[in-house]
Amino acid sequence: MNDDRPVLLETRGTCMHLTLNRPKALNALSHTMVRLLDEALARAEQDEAIESVLLSGAGDRGLCAGGDIRALHDDARASGRASLEFWRDEYRLNARIARFPKPYVALMDGIVMGGGVGVSAHAGIRVVTERSRVAMPETAIGFVPDVGGTRLLAAAPGELGTHLALTGRSVGAADAILCGLADHHVPARLLPALTEALGRPAGPGASVADIVQGFATDPPAGELAAQRDWIDDCYAADTVEDIIRKLRASGVPAARTVADELLTKSPLALKVTLAAVRRAARLAGLEAVLDQEFRVSSRAFEHPDFVEGVRARIIDKDNAPQWKPGSLAEVDDQEVARFFAPLGPGEQELALAPGPADTSARDGQDEQGGQDEQGGQGG
């Protein structure tokens, strides 16, 4: 009889094994799943008998395709607030994973996108396979990378993170490791043996990291290392418009293809995303970035591009979204800055970071030329 619990919990030896268990939905995260994961980690942190945690996904298609986009879409259409509470708990879970004091191993096999990155790429030990496809594809649906993704992408070498944030493209094992989204490649056929090994005592002098390293192999060749020259040059521009101009003028066919691809995304989401990634590089830590992302997500949730993007890409699948504004030139810098402003009356900040509230939003006007302008790129 199939177990229909959305998160399975099994203790194997000293390892708590958590399995995301919605394989028909590609293990998309629900609010219930976020709460169950948080409760399990809180328990594991306090239980001296638990020495490590392992996260995997049910089925053979992927760890997690992200949040439940249809539920978020329906909530936005109904002017609801449930999605904001989901993100509040999800981002707190992301922060808990990042600071978890025991080895946390994430098996990033297959599709790992959006919220799936949030529950895995902040782990202490991140494993990808030859089947892995890792992405933050939010700009295609009129949204902005979140779950700490802007911090992860800001830390990638050169402008690789900017490239991935704006295009939403997925990467395989080698490129995920290159970009700092993963640590080790383990062939998918060896994951059952790795899981079994993690459930046994490590033995004198051995560690969880040693066990994982014992299964690791070189990944299949990636693509990004050979593209660094044009990516780093073009994406160093201050605005989305300038990035696209440089991509078109580069003389590189792949760059021109990317320029065309960017023009299919939400103009507002592109500008906010560029500013968000560059602001994230200046913030003090993950908690501050998550605070910023909560503001941005709250504003993106209210904007019609999110509902329209999900409709066009996920529900009707006509791939013909009608963005508002419809062009980069129509995106106002002040509208971009609004995404980073403190939340208004009746709204509650995430407030994960210690100390005074982030003031970078108030510097937006000065940044118009810098980050925010980056595009105007806003953020």
Positions annotated as catalytic residues are 67, 115, 138, 146
For residue 156, give the nearest of 221, 227, 50, 104 by alpha carbon.
227
The terminus-to-terminus CA distance of the chain in angstroms comes to 48
**288 CB contacts (<8 Å, ≥6 apart)?**
352, 353, 358
Residue 241 to residue 203: CA distance in whole angstroms: 56
DSSP 133: E
For residue 55, the surrounding DSSP H or E stretch is strand 52-57
Angle between helices 82-98 and 286-302 (to 10 degrees): 160
Q: Are 317 and 272 in contact (CB under 8 A)?
A: no
CA dihedral over 338, 354, 286, 49, signed as positive or negative: negative
Question: Residue-wise over 263-282: b if at least 16 C-beta within 10 A, else e?
Answer: eebbbbbbbbbbbbbbbbee
